[in-house]
Structure formats: structure tokens, C-alpha cells
Structure 1
Amino acid sequence: MKLFLIVLAGLVLEVFVWIGVGDLVGSMWYVFFWFIVAFVIGMNIVRKHATGLMPQMQQMQAGQMSADPALSGNLPKILAGLLLMIPGLISDVLAVLILIPPVQNMLKATMMKVMMKRQQAMMEKMMGGMMGDMGNMGAGQGQNPFADMMRQMQDMQNQQGGVHRDSSIIDGEAREVTPEAKKIEFKDVNPK
């Protein structure tokens, strides 16, 4: 309900701004043509920056967080393109503000924090759902047997940029071994 009221207030404000700018420039046709131009610009921005976005979003929803800088760099631009496609002068001003690099960096950081929190909540919900009635049967009530795994996954997410050594990974190298070229001689087992 709260979101509906915010959208409704935004629409009413947009209409008043359209009328005010139309009166200011002398004709509503200029505003209408601007909407068409802004829509085309926004559509081109979305097309340019949305290539390859769906597989990455599907990975994120599957719980595999991608640290791809292209994804986090393209999300604000895609949002700006979508705002340009919406007919309205206020949304166009917001889109132009989003296209400014410092605002993009702020928006990227905020979006990544929100996605990390959402992924963590999804993992906790999933692990809690897997528990079912096992909490009553295990060593203690209320203990999550997946807590260590969740903690390790969180540590890995926090250290995405750096190198993380896991003690369960065996590092080594392979080399080819050539067998000695000795022939096996067969001896008669039953002499005649």
C-alpha cells in the first residue's frame, strides 16, 4: 500500500511538471517529442549494457554470487536507461544524475550491499527450511548443523577480492612418469 501511494504521488507530480514545462516552453509538443527522444536513448542504453545480464542474474538468484565488475558496473546504467524510457521529466533528471560516475559508484556499492544481504537471508532461509524437524533429533535443540558451512560461505563472500586458502584443498602438480622398458618373461609353469 505504501509503495502504491508513492507511485501515485510520483505520477501526479510528473503530470504537474509536464504541464509546467509545457507552459514554460510554449507547447506541449516539445515535451512529447522529448519523451520520444528520451525513450529511444534509454532503450539504446539498456540494449548496450544488458547483454549477458540474464545469465549473471540467474546465477545470483541460484545463490552463486558473481563478483563480475561488468555486472555491478552495468546495473546503474541499465537503471538510468529504464528511467529514461519512462515518460516523465523527473525520471529523466534522475536518469541523468545516475549517469554521473560518482553517483554510479555510490549506487553500485548500495546495490551490492542489498544483494549480499538478500543472498544471506535466502541462504539462512534455505538452510532453516532444510532443517525441518531435525532440530529435535540432533545433538541439541536449536543448533543448526549447517552453521559451519554457512560461516565458511560468508567468509568466502567477504574475501572475494583476495586469495583465500582452504585447508581442504590439496595443491600439487602432476608429472608424467615413464615406466621402465623391461619386458616380463614368461616361464613355463608346467615343464614338459
Structure 2
Amino acid sequence: MKLFLIVLIGLVLEVFVWIGVGDLVGSMWYVFFWFVAAFFIGLNLIRKYSAGVMPQMQQMQMGQMSADPALSNNLPKIFAGFLLMIPGLISDVLALLVMIPAVQNAFKAAMMKAMMKRQQAMMDQMMGGMMGDMNGMGGAGQNPFADLMRQMQDMQNQQGGGRDSSIIDGEAREITPDAKKIEMKDVNPPK
């Protein structure tokens, strides 16, 4: 509900600014043509900087890779492109502010903090809250999951009768495929 209220207030402000600037410059058509130009500028920014962003973001969220500098440098520019694509002068001014390097650095820092917080929450959820008390699990400096991994390995060894779990038992036999012959009776019809 709070987000809906913010969006509604933003839309009303955009309309008032649009009308005010249209009256100031003498015609609403100038403002409309600016919206069209800003849309294409934003679309160009998104196309330019978004190549390969989604797979990298998914890998970062899964904790498989650290923050790529190219990715963290491109996300503020992609966000500015989205703001330019939204019709409105306030969103266009915000997009221009996001393109300032100092604002981009603040945006990157906030984004990384949010992603790290989300990644930590995912780890806590996956491990059932085991990350909460590190001292009760073997002390600092040790792997808190070592006991869990050892228990899982012991269970696999008990189920497999003590055999090595990396060996796959199976049977192999050679199969000769049946060679099908193509009959040529319908290829050349009689004359």
C-alpha cells in the first residue's frame, strides 16, 4: 500500500510538472517530443549496458561469484535508462542525477549492501538458521558446516554398505542398430 501511494503521488507530480513546463515553453508538444527522445535515449542506454547482466546477477545472488566491477558499474546506467524511458520530467532529472559518478558510487554501495543482505538471508534460510551461533559449532575460524558435511557422508556410507559413493554400478552391452533400407519404388514414378 505504501508503494502504491508513492507511485500515485509521483504520477500526480509528473503531470503537474509536465503542465507547468508545457506552459513555460509555450507548447505541450515540446514536452511530448522530449519524452519520445528520452525514451529512445533510455532504450539505447539499456541496450548498451545490459549485455550479460542477468546471468551475472543470478550468480551473484547464488553466491557463486563475487561482484564483477563491470556489472556494478553498468547497473546505475541501466537504472538511469529505465528512468529515462518513464515519461516524465522528474524521472528524467533523476536519471541525469544517477549518471553523475558520485551518485553512481552511492547507488553501487547501496546495491551491494542489499545484495549481501539478501544473500545472507538466503544462506540462513537454507541452513535452517545454523549461521546464527558460530561459537556453538566449533569456534571461530573453523568451517561451521564441517560437522554437517561429515554426518551426510557417514549416512551415505551406511546406505551404500561402506562402498565408495563415487563408483556407479551398472551393466554395458553393445547394440547394433538395425539398418533400415530405403525403398526407391515411389521416387521415380513410371512414365
TM over 0.5: yes
Residue 21 of structure 2: aligned partner: 21
Alignment of 1:63-102 (within 5 A): 63-102=63-102
Residue 181 of structure 2: aligned partner: none
Counterparts of 1:54 and 1:76, CA distance in 2:
14
What amino acid maps onto 1:81 in structure 2? G
Counterparts of 2:98 and 2:75, CA distance in 1:
10
Residue 31 of structure 2: aligned partner: 31
Question: Residues 77 and 99 of structure 1 are in contact (CA less than 8 Å); yes or no, is this contact kept in structure 2?
Answer: yes
Number of equivalenced pairs: 139
Alignment of 1:69-148 (within 5 A): 69-128=69-128
Counterparts of 1:150 and 1:98, CA distance in 2:
41
TM-score scaled to structure 2, two decimals? 0.67
Counterparts of 1:3 and 1:18, CA distance in 2:
22
Residue 170 of structure 2: aligned partner: none
Pairwise CA distance, 1:62: 2.5
Counterparts of 2:42 and 2:30, CA distance in 1:
18
Q: Structure 1: 5+ residue runs without aligned partners?
A: 132-142, 153-192
TM-score scaled to structure 1, two decimals? 0.67
The alignment yields a C-alpha RMSD, in angstroms, of 2.3
Pairwise CA distance, 1:125: 1.0
Residue 187 of structure 2: aligned partner: none
What amino acid maps onto 1:118 in structure 2? R
Question: Residues 83 and 92 of structure 1 are in contact (CA less than 8 Å); yes or no, is this contact kept in structure 2?
Answer: yes
SS in structure 1 at match of 2:54:
helix
1:53 is the counterpart of 2:53 = yes
Q: Structure 2: 5+ residue runs without aligned partners?
A: 131-135, 147-191
Pairwise CA distance, 1:151: 8.9
Residue 10 of structure 1: aligned partner: 10
Pairwise CA distance, 1:144: 6.9
Residue 43 of structure 1: aligned partner: 43
Question: Residues 35 and 87 of structure 1 are in contact (CA less than 8 Å); yes or no, is this contact kept in structure 2?
Answer: yes
Among the aligned pairs, what percent are the same residue?
76
